[in-house]
Homo-oligomer: A and B are copies of this chain.
Amino acid sequence: MTETPELNDPESLANDLATGQRRALAQAITLVESTRDDHRQQALALLQALAGKPYRQALRIGLSGTPGVGKSTFTEAFGMMLIEHGLKVAVLAVDPSSARSGGSILGDKTRMEHLSRQKNAFIRPSPSQSALGGVARRTREAILLCEAAGYDVILIETVGVGQSETMVADMSDIFVLLLAPAGGDELQGVKRGIMEIADLILVNKADGDLKPTAMRTCADYKGALALMRKRRKDPVGFPRVRPVSAVTGDGLTEAWADISELADWRRQQGVWDDIRKKQAKYWFQQELRAGLMRYLMRDEGLAALVADLSLAVESGEISASAAAATALERFRSKG
């Protein structure tokens, strides 16, 4: 981890956060990102202190875009527009590959030079560590911290490495997929399952020579979406597909209107809270299962047995059920 946070007591840090102090927020996020046990304890205490306080819900927008679609430029332009609307905007980057690749982290921040200078904007690079589980927890907790710090909109953006898109969607109220105009051979194709979790698909670079291609791309994806069942009961026309240009700013206001419309509709229908509750429950189960497995696998004998069994199952020497039964038997006899 980078800087070590001062050992503020959770209560005072929680209070500083509640008053929207950016330094407190940065410090708190560093705390939840720390892997040190004592920091972890403080982080949990801080989250607990915050859970007690009443706060306004932020709009959590997941934003996915592969390198080259102009995600940073879009985030900068979209974020600036929101700030002009008088909103406080936090940007959290999620890039599980950052540990390996060095990450687009500093890149992001420098590429968002206008946004990063705004007092109502807070940009947080992705924690540079590659375990998706760890990234997930830290990001979820960073979201809670930004919310407690009074930010109105939290943009959780990911480059979509591995499962990071579904992960981000599972912690967002609205999930936006940013695409580049493309057709025929250049067409990379949207990653598995992503099209169906998107509430809004934005085709960026709808300007200049690329505009016609962008319009065609929009039509193509509209057609494809029509063949898929909706993820949940949503107003007519969603998931919506719209051309935008982060450079000219075209379509940004409309995209924000789409997001607001969907968010309002879900709040009115009571879907909003259901989604957040489901997400919270899901993350609790994930944390619990992962934690249990970690704890059990600390028993080297059991860990070795499970590893051996896994190989035996892969090679077909033993059935999955029989292998699981064997491991469970060993576990029972110990516990």
Contacts and interface: CB of A to CB of B under 8 A. Distances in A.
Contacts of A281: 310, 313-314
A168 to B, nearest CB: 16
B284 A320 contact: yes
Interface in A145-177: none
Interface string A262-279: 000000000000001100
Interface stretch (A69-77, A92-100, A112-120, A182-190): A182-190
Contact of A284 (B192, B289, B324): B324
Tell me which of A43, A195, A221, A327 has the highest count of chain B C-beta atoms within 10 A of its own C-beta. A195
A44 interface: yes
A273 to B, nearest CB: 9
Q: Chain A interface: which size bin?
A: 35 or more
A190 B228 contact: yes
Nearest to A220: B227
Interface string A189-214: 11111011000000000000000000
Contacts of A221: 227
Contacts of A220: 223, 227
A284 B296 contact: no
Interface string A212-253: 000000001101101111110000000000000000000000
A229 B192 contact: yes
Interface of A is mostly: helix
A86 to B, nearest CB: 26
Contact of A226 (B137, B187, B320): B187
Interface string A41-72: 00110011001000000000000000000000
A295 B332 contact: yes
Interface in A278-292: 280-281, 283-289, 291-292
Nearest to A328: B291
A292 B292 contact: yes
Contact of A322 (B47, B195, B226, B331): B47
A179 B110 CA distance: 49
A323 B227 contact: no
Given A281-B314, A291-B328, A292-B293, 15 more contacts: A47-B322, A51-B318, A51-B322, A140-B321, A190-B228, A195-B228, A224-B228, A276-B316, A277-B314, A280-B313, A280-B316, A283-B313, A284-B323, A288-B327, A292-B328
Closest 8 CB pairs of A and B: A287-B324, A189-B229, A224-B224, A283-B320, A277-B314, A47-B319, A284-B320, A284-B313
12 contacts: A43-B321, A141-B319, A189-B227, A191-B228, A191-B229, A223-B223, A280-B313, A281-B310, A286-B320, A288-B328, A291-B325, A295-B328
Interface of A: 43-44, 47-48, 51, 137, 140-141, 144, 187-193, 195-196, 220-221, 223-224, 226-231, 276-277, 280-281, 283-289, 291-293, 295-296, 306, 309-310, 313-325, 327-328, 331-332, 335
